[in-house]
Structure 1
Amino acid sequence: MELICDVAELEHVVGSRMLPVMMKSIDRLDQHAVALLGRSPAAVLGYVDAGGAPRARVVGGAPGFAVPETSSRLRLPLPRDAAAGTGAALLVLLPGWRETLRVNGTVGDGGLTVEEVFLHCGKAVIRSDLWGEAAAVDNESTEDGPGIGPAATEFLAAAPFVVVTSRDGAGHADASPKGDPPGVVRPIGPSTVMLADRPGNRRTDTFHNILERPEVAIVAMVPGDDRTLELTGTATVSADRELRESMSERNRVPKAVLLVEVAHTRLTPSAALSEAALWDTGRHIDPGELPRPATIWTDHVKLNETTGVAAGIIRKAANERMIRTGVNLDYQQNLY
């Protein structure tokens, strides 16, 4: 099956982590992050429960549910079973906006100690048409158990957007958005699913984490449906040609696929998702009311404290207009 088992092999297949990309992250909440958090009604939280298992769920319900108390402290409604002192990751959603904010840190009393903040590119949201017109879903089926049952299979066939949460060997967490036309997660067996590696922000955090710690938790969403599907299990990365070709989209074959052996499935109504009304276009945010993504990336590069000559050159060269032009071109030419 051509499983990828080490970093050298992974980077040979999907590319290495480039310094300019990694310098788009900072270690604190700046004014841009505060502004985005103030407008967001919901996020996906990847965390570890009291039994040590990976979990992921939607949290929030109203704009400003996550409150920055300091530049390194974020208060938010944590699940009751979240284990203190463990890594957690927040994928912050802003309805109507293509980009997402990622906040990684450690679970503390009533929130997160912030360790990493960065803006994720909008490709997953664009591919999924996450904020497009959504019809109400007349389906209340639920599921809770091992494997992937009929209700979960039906939900996955309709889901265009998921968030994959993972941790590295040291326990640092990450939450990465994945988007495609409906069926972004494809069942290929009674307990196995597959996702394609589409172009994104080029950090490949999920793949690097899985090489060190294969346990993952995934949340899938269907626009118009107030249920979420959580899949927990173990993941591997494959460069198998047949699997990759089966996930082709717009004549583009992904460089790798993520395979997940699902241990537990939870398809349940989400109070946070319902209260956030993510699919109500009347509540979507006008992008003109938010900071420009290119401005955020430029400022974050300049705030990044990576040392070295190359990092200094990148900081000095960072330019909002240049980044905006490059991102728009990338969205047009490298969506798949």
Structure 2
Amino acid sequence: MTPITSIEDLELIYGEAVPRSLSKVTTHITPHYRTWIEASRFVVLSTVGPEGTDGSPRGDDGAVVEIADDKTLLLPDWFGNNRIDSLRNIVRDNRVSLMFMAPSSTNVVRVNGTALVTVDEATRRRFEKKGKLPRTVIAITIGEMYFQCAKALMRSELWKGAIDDQKLPTAGDFIKERDALFDGKTYDETYAEYAKPRMW
């Protein structure tokens, strides 16, 4: 493969950005963005650290983040597998990006900014569910935000029908592939139960 090694060469291939793609950018949450984000139950959190990059899916049974003010988003970190890759990265390099999706919408909302991880009791209590609190909360300060053109989701038909799950490897299959003695079937059954909304 022949790599492109300069911005000048890259720009020769693509030309100038479409003006509307630049003018749509905002540095704070507007009323329309508030409505959209409050409807989103899923976001991909992207971080960067000394070991490389990380993209982490985050979901909830309601809004995936809370809007603290027009520049700040709060993302609770519920109990998981304790890899804490994203949190490790944020502690060492506070740059983050988020990609919000909402069921059936072909638009995507993107946020670029900075973040910190807090164990502040009052902040954690904002997310209390059935007496449970998240271990920490990620507070994101918005640098810029904008909606993404719908072409990608329309082209992929992401929300149209469903792929037959029987044709896709399960979580248990992935682990068993690395450990032949692992009981993938029991793991999948347990995981399906654990992943229900009462997981907090």
1:334 to 1:169, Cα distance in 2 relative to 1, 3 A? farther
What does residue 166 of structure 1 align with?
A: 47
Report the 3-state secondary structure (helix = DSSP H, G, I; strand = E; otherwise coil) of the residue aligned with 1:145.
coil
Separation (CA, whole Å) in 1 of partners of 2:91 and 2:107: 31
Taking only the aligned residue pairs, the percentage that are identical comes to 23
Equivalenced residues, count: 180
- Check 1:292–1:183 CA distance in 2 against 1; reply closer, same or farther (3 A cut): closer
Task: Identify the residue that residue 62 of structure 1 maps to in structure 2.
Answer: none
Give the alignment of 1:250-329 within 5 angstroms: 250-281=130-161, 284-300=162-178, 302=179, 318-329=182-193
Aligned to 1:25: none
Q: Give unpaired runs (5+ residues) of structure 1.
A: 1-49, 51-79, 81-141, 303-315
What amino acid is aligned across from residue 165 of structure 1 in structure 2? Answer: S
CA contact (8 A) 1:226 1:270 kept: yes
1:207 pairs with 2:93: no
1:317 Cα deviation from its structure 2 partner: 5.5
Q: State whether residues 143 and 151 of structure 1, in contact with CA within 8 Å, keep that contact through their aligned partners in structure 2.
A: no
Give TM-score scaled by structure 1 length.
0.49
Assess if the C-alpha contact under 8 Å between 2:101 and 2:107 holds in 1.
yes
1:175 counterpart (26, 50, 55): 55
One-letter code aligned to 1:225: S
Letter in 1 for 2:182: A
Whether the aligned pair in 2 keeps the contact of 1:143 and 1:268 (CA below 8 Å) is: no
What is the letter of the counterpart of residue 169 of structure 2? P
Q: 1:233 deviation in Å?
A: 0.5
The alpha carbon displacement at 1:250 in A equals 4.0
Judged with a 3 Å threshold, the aligned counterparts in structure 2 of structure 1 residues 182 and 325 are, in CA distance, closer, same or farther, namely closer
Q: What is the DSSP-based 3-state SS (H/G/I as helix, E as strand, rest coil) of the residue aligned with 1:259?
A: strand
Deviation (angstroms), 1:331: 2.8
Instruction: Report the counterpart of residue 35 of structure 1 in structure 2.
Output: none
CA distance in 2, matches of 1:250, 1:288: 34
Q: What is the identity, as a one-letter code, of the residue corresponding to 2:172?
A: A
Name the structure 2 match of 1:190: 70
What do you get for the CA RMSD once the two structures are aligned?
2.3
Code of the aligned partner of 1:208 = R
Asked if the contact 2:96/2:113 (under 8 Å) is kept, the reply is yes
Which range moved further: 176-185 or 323-332? 323-332
Q: Partners of 1:329 and 1:323 in 2: how far apart?
A: 10
Report Cα offsets for 1:122-160 as digits up to 9, x if no partner: xxxxxxxxxxxxxxxxxxxx9412122222111111101
Q: Secondary structure at the match of 1:157?
A: helix
Q: CA deviation at 1:162?
A: 0.2
Query: What SS class does the counterpart of residue 166 from structure 1 fall into?
Result: strand
Q: Tell me which residue corresponds to 1:228.
A: 108
